[in-house]
Structure 1
């Protein structure tokens, strides 16, 4: 009888963890969808809502490492000052994995369609952490 109880407990834990992962996967993908919509509306401030609002946020790009939410937002605004430079964003998610219940890792590709200034594209790696029940990007490496 104890073995049967242990088996049910084990199955419950497995099913619960998979359900949590599915809900978390859906939440992360929804944030990325919202970021795409915000970018395509020309709103870099709203786009940044997917990022951790902390001085410890890291963004790694072609020019090196940027530390902090405000500095990252500032770089976005300077690099993409108008709708023509922002273009239309499309994300392609190549991999989304969970390293722990509160840590996720996303690899993807971005493409900016920009008829006036030329298209741009590259790849990104995002490290996510679930804090206070909300998923946020704590590190972004885009190139």
Structure 2
């Protein structure tokens, strides 16, 4: 028996859930409205001024950003509950649109036996979605590894 929300394919419902989860991580929606240039500049200025990163570190963190999300994420990563090294925090927060990567890191650190590098691979949007330095999607492998 179907629920009160109507029929529809299970695939479409699952696809919609996937978009709802991936959208904030990839910057879909209002973050894109600001524009990459404006977002990257605002992120860079905030990272240098409020987060106290060097110019080079702020550039690596904010290059290609659509919002100040990477700077906010980096700031959250320095809280006593998480505190990551500068390099690990930049890796975690590059291309982020919110502090969600830090929440992911904290949860994985608490609930799993993964080491820091494995958690970074799991929670960093730039790593998880194979984003290039400008936060744009890279070319995915044409075939899964191990296939002839």
TM-score by length of 1: 0.30
| Greater per-residue helix proportion | 2
| Greater per-residue strand proportion | 1
Which of these two proteins has the greater Rg computed from alpha carbons? 1
TM-score by length of 2: 0.29
